[in-house]
Amino acid sequence: METIVSPIPVLSPRREKSKRAAPMGKWAFFEGEFVPLDQAKIGIGTHAFNYGTGCFGGMRAYWNDEQEQLYIFRPKRHFKRFLESCRLLNIALPYSIADLIEITLELLRRDNYRQDAYMRPIAYKATEDITPRLYDLEDAYAMFTRPQGNYIKLEVRAGTSSWRRVDDNSIPARGKITGAYINSSFARTEAYWNGYDEAIVLNQDGHVSEGSAENFFMIRNGKLVTPSVQDNILEGVTRATVMELARDELGLEVVERSIDRSELYLADEAFFTGTGAQVAAIVEIDHRPLGEGGTGPLTRQIQELYFSTVRGKNERYAHWVTAVYPR
């Protein structure tokens, strides 16, 4: 009897290329050197690819038209947290914070950005092995960049997710661990399928934790309230930035505490923060409009102050930005 072997379908190069969601930079830092992005590849047996044993950072560089300068926002703070995430995964890199900043500057200069950009550093277990563990594995570092506009809209509708945030004793949310972001993927996909722009995720105790990949703030009774670090949140750099700006520039009282789900519906205003999200107003939660159903007055003030600061226009916080191009 003749055996019929069905041909294996192969995607055409055009189909494969169409899967890329956005343009990327042309260069990467990989295996200790700068290489064209398409040469920065790992094998399918790589430990991090199989088990999520890696961590990452997310940083932005903002273009200032008047000064014709690109500014990296708070790189020291970002790389400090990045190296803390490495420690959680028993990853030891041969680079200092200063080294990592120099690598970032070189990548941005090679791509010669004259627009806002995003930088993604990644540390990972590079050994090709199939035993889940964090010891006796090679550690590696890579980085790429891309042009970046708004990650999410600056006005969003949010829905409370049925997925709970990972617990500190399971997968620490305070670290940007690659494998942990399947939790974020579940939450954001559910929100999208339910007609929302973003998710609000609760922790195991039923208190508000954060968005799928953003920190959460609400304004209630004139106070700026955000979940505490004990509520299984990422210790966000943008979160810390907004808290300082709100206190020192706007005179707002900032409170870190647990937030009940029902409080979401009573908030006067609310917004997400993050390197990707920046400062995005939440205008509706679970089909309930907040305030007048648009960006509230305090949220707008915080947005304007934030965007002025990250573009190097706020002299008081000039030490937060690092110029890319030499004068």
Within a domain: 326: no
| One domain for residues 184 and 227 | yes
The predicted-structure confidence for 158-212, as pLDDT tens digits, reads as follows: 999 999 999 999 999 999 999 999 999 999 999 999 999 999 999 999 999 999 9
The per-residue pLDDT for range 67-122, each reduced to its tens digit, is 999 999 999 999 999 999 999 999 999 999 999 999 999 999 999 999 999 999 99
pLDDT attached to residue 18: 47
CATH of the domain at 131: 3.30.470.10
Residue that terminates a domain, selected from 119, 147, 175:
147
Percent of the chain with pLDDT over 70: 93
**214-238 tens-digit pLDDT:** 999 999 999 999 999 999 999 999 9
Q: Assess if residue 317 is contained within a domain.
A: no
Count of domains for the chain = 2
Whether residues 55 and 130 fall in one domain:
yes
Is 8 within a domain? no
Residue ending a domain, among 147, 182, 210, is 147
Q: Which residues have a Cβ under 8 Å from the Cβ of 82 and sit 6 or more positions away?
A: 55, 56, 57, 100, 121, 123, 176
- The answer to whether position 57 is within a domain reads yes
**How would residue 2 be classed by pLDDT, with cut points 50, 70 and 90?**
low
Which domain does 41 fall in, by range? 22-147
**This prediction's pTM:** 0.91
Give me the CATH number covering residue 215. 3.20.10.10
Name the burial class of residue 33, with classes exposed (0-12), middle (13-18) and buried (19+) by CB atoms within 10 angstroms of its CB.
Answer: exposed
